[in-house]
Amino acid sequence: MARETDGRERNVFGYLTHEFETFDQRPLGDVDSLVLACLSYFQLPAEAEAARTEEGMDLRDLFRAEWLEGMTGGLWGPAGLSRLLACVVASPRMRGIRLSCYVEDLDAAREKQFSACTLRLPGGDAYVSFRGTDNSLVGWKEDFNMAFERDVPSQVSARAYLERVAPTVRGRIYVGGHSKGGNLAAYVASTCSPEVAGRLERVFSHDGPGFTAESLAASSWRERARLVSKTVPRSSLIGMLFEQQEEYSVVDSSTVGILQHDPFSWVVEGCDFVRVKGIARGAAALDETLNQWISSMTVEEREGFVNTLFSVLYASGEDTFASMAGNLQTTLPAMLDSLAATDPEERRYLTRAVSLLLRAFVPEVSLPEVTLPEVALPESLAALQSEGTALLARARARAEVAVGADATQVAGTSGATDDA
């Protein structure tokens, strides 16, 4: 959690608690967008039928104790998401927003994880919010498919969704998302019809993966890039994947490393994020190494690498990172065995990618005391087993400190040193 100033948390929770101006008094900005982008993470129950209609339902009607567990279960930071909804429905700035046109589509066979909703603001404007990647392997596989495939299923669905809802909005249209949702927002801005593009006020990508050079070659991207506002934390990894030509602004975070992907860690002062000069040195080096390596491959080679990476992850026998991390005593050795069978030349990159993805999820899980069994590994893989053991120890330490606290309040301050 960011340090407090005069009793105010320096994050989106503090912003929602203290900023009372309406959208008529102050236009929608980057921090508002992050809040609205995160609202698309909620998995709405079947009983919320009105949310699936054009008219929608007031966000206050979603804030029901009997729904919250189902709406946030299996997601990153469920306690933080529940708190976010409470802050939103209490906020004079956000009060009166209606959630409409909710859709959700998880298709393992097509390697597709897609969800979106349209948040109708008082006054007639609307924010089209695309859900980011959840903790399913299917969702992350689709993200990595962007390295070799143009128009992945969620991108196609996002464009069709915007084309469908745009005529139902009488005011200005904003589009945004966090993580993969940010990529979808930027994608639809560059590929939607000229009629819809002419109605877009601003497009927000919050630490969303970038695009390959091939995807950014279209003239429509060059013409509409001015609409896109991209923000990434100082140790961004997810938002810098495939980064080629998108301009971006770097924001401060109260935590370190890949944990900075957590939007509740982004530091807010007043009505805006605290901006910093650039990506942290360690993160920048890693981003450049991964992107240069991916860029050096043919499309076929990229596809082979991504498929091999996820064959290693699926070797765990689980279909979500949460279930994988909850049983590392079994899943980690299975993945290490799978890694040992891969081509030695790409094993280093595979090992690093697996390690980064595990680090993104393990700290959020309460792990039991476990002792990893001895596994015979090539020397190049020993580091990952050591890192896995260290991750478990750090996760247990965080869990002990966080007992009784909000799960999203990770240790650290806005002045913490990056460990990337």
- The closest of 176, 288, 296 to 236, measured between CA atoms, is 288
**Side chain identity at 393, as an amino acid letter?**
A
Range with top average pLDDT, 70-84, 191-205, 304-318, 324-338: 191-205
Report the range out of 50-54, 180-184, 206-210 with the highest average pLDDT: 50-54
pLDDT of residue 241: 64
Please tell me the predicted confidence (pLDDT) of residue 14: 96
Q: Reply yes or no on whether the pLDDT at 375 is more than 60.
A: no
Rounded to whole angstroms, how far apart are CA atoms 146 and 86?
35
**Length of the chain, in residues:** 420
Name the pLDDT band for 348 (thresholds 50, 70, 90): confident
The answer to whether the CB of 31 falls within 8 A of the CB of 10 is no
pLDDT score at 288:
60
Residue 189 in this model has a pLDDT that exceeds 90: yes
Q: For 342-346, which contacts have Cβ atoms below 8 Å and span 24 or more sequence positions?
A: 342/308, 342/312, 343/308, 344/378, 344/380, 346/305, 346/308
DSSP for residue 408:
T
Q: Which residues pair with 229 in a beta bridge?
A: 204
Q: pLDDT tier at 19 (50, 70, 90 boundaries)?
A: very high
User: Could you tell me the CA-to-CA distances from 16 to 22, 89, 181, 261, 311 in Å, in that order?
Assistant: 12, 10, 22, 20, 42
Mean pLDDT taken over the chain = 80
Domain ranges of the chain: 12-285, 298-401
pLDDT at 287 over 80: no
Q: List, for residues 96-148, the tens digit of each pLDDT value.
A: 999 999 999 988 888 888 999 999 999 999 999 999 887 778 888 887 787 77
Distance between CA atoms of residues 417 and 420, nearest Å: 9
Average pLDDT over every residue of 347-370: 60
pLDDT at residue number 396: 44
- pLDDT of 281 reads 55
> Residue 410: its pLDDT value, please?
32
Is it the case that residue 298 has pLDDT exceeding 50?
Answer: yes
Query: Rounded to whole angstroms, how far apart are CA atoms 62 and 58?
Result: 7
Considering the domain 12-285, what is its CATH architecture? Answer: 3-Layer(aba) Sandwich (3.40)
Look at residue 9 in the predicted model and tell me its pLDDT: 93
Rounded-to-integer distance, Cα 255 and Cα 260, Å: 6
pLDDT for res 403: 33
- In 3D space, the residue among 127, 177, 144 whose CA is nearest the CA of residue 357 turns out to be 144
The four Cα atoms 282, 284, 285, 288 give a dihedral, to 10 degrees, of: 160
Residue range 326-354: mean pLDDT, rounded = 83
**Over the stretch 45-65, which tens digit does the pLDDT of each residue have?**
999 999 999 999 999 999 999
Cβ–Cβ under 8 Å, residues 398 and 363: yes
Contact 267, 256 (CB under 8 A): no
CA–CA distances in Å: residue 153 to residues 98, 157, 199: 27, 6, 24
Running DSSP on this structure, what letter comes out for residue 252? Answer: -
Between 80 and 294, name the one with better pLDDT.
80
Predicted pLDDT at 129 = 98
Quote the pLDDT of residue 402. 38
Q: Which of 116-120, 229-233, 288-292, 320-324 has the highest mean pLDDT?
A: 116-120
Q: How confident is the model at residue 354 (pLDDT cuts 50, 70, 90)?
A: confident
Residue-wise pLDDT for 230-277, tens only, equals: 999 887 766 566 655 567 899 999 987 777 888 999 999 999 999 998
Top-confidence residue, 244 or 208: 208
Nearest to 92 by CA among 32, 38, 180: 32
380 CB neighbour count, 10 Å cutoff? 13
